[in-house]
Structure 1
């Protein structure tokens, strides 16, 4: 920059006209002047130019009339000529950084691609579940439905239905009621499903383990006992939810940190329920424990002949479900720091629950519905058998399924299959 005195002399020279004794006029040719750094324009003879909007003046040490213009960056706005201030945590600077404005609030929308896929799966699952339940109610007294353990079947179908319903609660606009229902149903559907399956597998295991030692039927294998055991397992989940309600009542929050980007114009506040990732896992933890326990019993009963019970279909169901949830956990926690956390975690959670429910529905009930509707000739009553006969037949079938070299006394394999869908204890005579 050039001092003010220079500008005064320069302007004087620029407009100075010299008249000599011969009246010859000579003018100063500005275009012929050479300026530093090859500049073509006449330099402005001021120390500092005025700052632009959104910039503050930073004084130059030792030069009280000079300053440097600094942009108010990040989430700062221009408070006055010489200072910038940070906007409140829920606000961002406007386009010219002269004031603050509220950060837009977003939520997972129904039309979002992240929501369309789980909603579609849930709707298909709900329709299929209602169809299966209606079929079972319509043919409630037929052999195949009775052999499936009607009471536990209806409990399991209810749990499957709730696993699909949670999708709509997870995508719905958060409010106190929605957040409360999320806490209740988040783990309840899975808990009901795996409590029923665990009760079934435990029953099968006890029947055939005790059958190896005695012909006396084990305790607590009646339908009433099975419902009581299942209800006890479910009550643990409900008790945990009640404690959660008492300690931390449901509420909604707007999370401004989740999508607070470097560029304030892209910042968004996320409207969501006051539920942390750890609380979600804890809510699902008991259901996962039931699932793992059920899988262990499914492994223990894997050698029980499938001609007599549902052990193998339950086993396949649990193995597949474990794979689904083993894939869910790293995805859920691996995206905790992502700007798309809201979408990825919600979609991953709902899809995992939908897949778990679909696996159980498809493997355990669709084959029975197929027989009921398309092959009613197979849905016939078999003769009742005593507990001793059932266990003896199961033991013989287990032996005959071994390799010839492993069969004691060279036993020959015979056919013992009566009803592939039947549970032996549904027809035994005590």
Structure 2
């Protein structure tokens, strides 16, 4: 046989021993009073097989002035007598149902709690005593009476209690649950909503048919949110109910944009009048026009009464919890007018009105407190009717929760009967275990019950052991006859665990004399895109507009900067990427640079064609044709690169830009450097040595250029591998766009590629200086120098202009493109246009004589070089004593000096007459020093050496 779990033996021994010493209670009185109500109990029906214990606040609680302890006060008709009769009414319906607990009669054992936790605790000990007596009788006999019989408690009715209904207030239910857990007796409360009672570790056998204060607090906050009351004071009562609700309100307030100013106000029913006056004074001085009262009835009524005495009955709108807002508000109706409350779902108990109004002391003998109730209404005991019943009766709106508590026990017992008794009528041994039903088994069946409630909706307990979240929103109104009542104006439900739904009939909600509802906010509600800046009191604030580049953080209510490449969306609730922008071929700046580059491409091609047509003329041959075409290729690509730079940025275009930016200048200046180096080696070599300059052939020059260019190629390839081309965005807060550019436009990536070309430019400048005294056809020193100087000037202008454009990438890219085009035009204009001009417009200068001539305008040289000297007009004795190196002439393939022309007057005449084939190679070098006599062999040796150099078949420019 299965035995019930044994409670702590020490506790059982002490309680049962105390009961034996005290003995059984005296006989119960028929008529109750506040003094003897704690000794009264209701047991109905007498032949019940199973009893449900119950504690109802039949009387109020009051403090004894002499002793300072809680005692029972006046009788409560609405909150005491009505729930008791609702339980008896429901039991009658259960016992009349043949399909529910067949063969079993369910009864009730009811006691008065007087709405006091300590008194309820004492009453609950009766269930402990009854359990111990039954355990001693049916299971393990440890105690006996003097005659040897097993002791019984109050006639043995308490032995049949299998569960308890109650209490009403949370503080009472906490005391009951703490005791009943010892004997594993299930408990169902019909109105206790404290969130503390959901703690299954402390109260493992507690259930309730109403929802928890956690959801009630959310419902209150939702009402505040819908009315846009963001600032409200709060008053709560001490104890489990008020303090639990208060903490839930504070915990959830921020989620609903509601703020409760400090200090918060706690009151109890035992506080003095000065305490209440202090709280009311603080409320009046505050800025809040709405006060949330999460308190028990006694606290709320005293608070409203204090406000009335202060003459501030129109000062506040009250938002109440279920602890007081469902009761009659005698003497404070005008103060509470317009109040809004949240109550567990209000439903009328069908048939109860007719049942209750027909009760009389004669017909209702099972209720020992009904006679007192009859007298409380001012009716005689022998009166067959009492008009006051009909005049003062109003069904309490939460009686259906009492009904659900009783029905839940009945259905749990029925499912247990089906499991244990297998359809046999009455209680079977497997269910009662020798007269005792296990509390744990019954509790498990209670968790799984399902039955229709008064609205024909399915009732079931949620995981926390509470009823589903169903609330009614009430409004305290008065009608045309100045009668006040709570009127239902909305509902709040959350039965599925998803988002709760609040439905308010705003047309039915009324304030005082139909006035508009007051505002309650310590700051003006901020508009979208405005930050809430808190003041000294964290509930007060002022609004500040967010900047155009900021968004509003809805969690902190502060403005937060968006990234430079992001902007706030409409409403400034979050940041989004700015619209992408990049330069393309449709941009006006791009069109300008491309038009400039197109002119350069056309000019380069035209110069190339002219060079090709006049390829064999002296001017073109003297310019080193192969190197000139390499230079033209570099210039051509400098113009073409504008189309790549202006193209929409991609990894491909960015890589090409980085590679060709330095590559183009390297090609150009490698060709110029090779040309100037060749001319320098040919014309500035030591003519005393009978050898020609090396590596002066066209093939050698191409190889040298290739080697110089290959260095830049290696540099660029390595740098591209180390720093891959990528896309990035340039952003400015003042702009609504983010500009897509190549990664590296604003760093040192391009500088690396320009270091090597800069060295070539420097070397070209040096060699240009060295070749400044060569024949005019080969002397490009001033052109190359001008090209280099102009290029350096362009670079000096480009760098600050490029860096000073900020994030305007259109100008940056165009600046880079124009930089390349200007460099190409400078090289094209300085190095090619003079030759093109001679070829096209001065063909008389495109001869070998002119190309090989040297002009020195700094000295008044007599080109006839007659023996009379440099100053023929002066007398011989007045001419300065100057010595000059002899001029060397090339005449019909022979080299002649002035000495030889003196020996051959015919040659001299031919030269002075400008005979064909006479070319002056180099002018005489004048010096103020007296030179030694020049032998006739020296000019001949120099002439042969220079002739062998310039007639080198592998040398393109000098070989005519």
- Determine if the TM-score, normalized by the shorter chain, exceeds 0.5: yes
Q: Please say which structure displays the higher CA radius of gyration.
A: 2
Alignment partner for residue 731 of structure 2, among 245, 259, 262?
Answer: 259
Supply the distance in 1 between the matched residues of 2:787 and 2:561 (Cα, whole angstroms).
55
Cα 1:109–1:361 shift into 2, 3 Å: same
Which residue among 348, 372, 386 is the counterpart of 2:839?
372
Distance in 1 between the 2:607 and 2:881 partners? 41
Deviations 1:363-414 (A, max 9, x none): 2222222333344455456699xxxxx7xx86xx67x955779995257999
Identify which of 564, 572, 580 aligns with 1:105.
580
Tell me how far apart the structure 2 counterparts of residues 46 and 191 of structure 1 sit (CA, whole Å).
74
CA distance in 2, matches of 1:417, 1:325: 41
1:252 deviation in Å? 1.8
| CA distance 1:213–1:125, shift in 2 (3 Å) | farther
Name 2:793's counterpart in structure 1.
Answer: 323
* C-alpha contact (below 8 Å) 1:77/1:97 kept by paired residues: yes
Distance 1:407 1:217 in 2: 36
Aligned residue in 2 for 1:345:
812
Instruction: Give the aligned partner of residue 527 of structure 2.
Output: 52
Tell me: CA distance 1:199–1:247, structure 2 relative to 1, closer, same or farther (3 Å): same
Contact 2:663 2:713 in 1 (8 A): yes
Q: Secondary structure at the match of 2:738?
A: strand
Matched, 1:243 2:698: no
**Cα distance in 2 between the residues matched to 1:270 and 1:301:** 49
Q: Is the 8 A contact 1:252 1:273 kept in 2?
A: yes
The alpha carbon displacement at 1:161 in A equals 0.4
Q: CA deviation at 1:343?
A: 3.1
The CA deviation at 1:305 is 4.0
CA shift for structure 1 position 101? 2.4
370 and 89 in structure 1: CA distance in 2 versus 1, 3 angstrom threshold: closer
**1:238 partner SS:** helix
Structure 1 residue 46, shift from structure 2 partner? 5.3
Residues 63 and 192 of structure 1, relative CA distance in 2, 3 Å threshold = closer
Q: 2:623 matched to 1:135?
A: no
SS in 2 for 1:68: strand
2:741 to 262, 266, 272: 272
Matching of residue 302 in structure 1 with residue 772 in structure 2: yes
Structure 1 gap segments, 5+ residues each: 10-42, 385-389
> Residue 664 of structure 2: SS of its match in structure 1?
helix
Q: Which residue of 1 is the match for residue 652 of structure 2?
A: 177
Deviation at 1:202, TM superposition (A): 1.2
The 5-angstrom pairing of residues 26-425 of structure 1 reads 47-62=522-537, 64=539, 66-73=540-547, 75-80=549-554, 82-84=556-558, 85-87=560-562, 90-211=565-686, 213-253=688-728, 255=729, 258-261=730-733, 263=734, 266-276=735-745, 277-333=747-803, 335=804, 338-340=806-808, 342-376=809-843, 378-380=845-847, 402=859, 409=883, 416=919
For the 8 Å contact 2:623–2:778, the answer to whether it is kept is no
Deviation of 1:113 after TM superposition, in Å, equals 4.0
1:171 Cα deviation (Å)?
0.8
Instruction: Please say if residues 679 and 778 of structure 2, whose CA atoms lie closer than 8 Å, have aligned partners that are also in contact.
Output: no
Q: Partner of 2:883: helix, strand, or coil?
A: helix
SS at match of 1:77: strand
- SS at 2:772 equivalent: coil
* Partner Cα distance (2:820, 2:850) in 1: 40
Question: Residue 294 of structure 1 aligns to a residue in which SS?
Answer: helix
Q: Does the aligned pair in 2 maintain the 1:188–1:238 contact within 8 Å?
A: yes
Instruction: Kindly report the root-mean-square deviation, in angstroms, between the aligned alpha carbons of the 2 structures.
Output: 3.7
What is the TM-score with the length of structure 1 in the denominator?
Answer: 0.75
Q: Distance in 1 between matches of 2:708 and 2:881?
A: 40
Which TM-score applies when normalising by structure 2? 0.36
SS in 2 for 1:426: coil
What displacement does 1:93 show? 0.8
Deviation at 1:145, TM superposition (A): 2.2
**CA 1:181–1:7 in structure 2 vs 1: closer, same or farther (change >3 Å)?**
farther
CA distance in 1, matches of 2:689, 2:720: 48
Deviation larger for 174-183 or 193-202: 174-183
Deviation at 1:361, TM superposition (A): 1.0
Q: CA deviation at 1:238?
A: 0.7
2:748 alignment partner, SS class: helix
Whether the aligned pair in 2 keeps the contact of 1:76 and 1:86 (CA below 8 Å) is: yes
Larger helix percent: 1
Residue 426 of structure 1 pairs with residue 895 of structure 2: no
Q: Count residues in correspondence.
A: 375
C-alpha distance in 1, partners of 2:615/2:566?
A: 61
CA distance in 1 between partners of 2:807 and 2:767 (Å): 41
Q: Which structure is higher in RCO with an 8 Å CA cutoff and minimum separation 6?
A: 1
Which residue number corresponds to residue 60 of structure 2?
A: none
Report the counterpart of residue 276 of structure 2 in structure 1: none
CA distance in 2, matches of 1:121, 1:188: 21
Q: CA deviation at 1:355?
A: 1.7
State whether residues 533 and 543 of structure 2, in contact with CA within 8 Å, keep that contact through their aligned partners in structure 1.
yes
- Cα–Cα, structure 1 residues 81 and 225, in superposed 2: closer, same or farther, change >3 Å? closer
Cα pair distance change 1:307/1:55, threshold 3 Å: closer
Deviates more, 1:167-176 or 1:89-98: 89-98
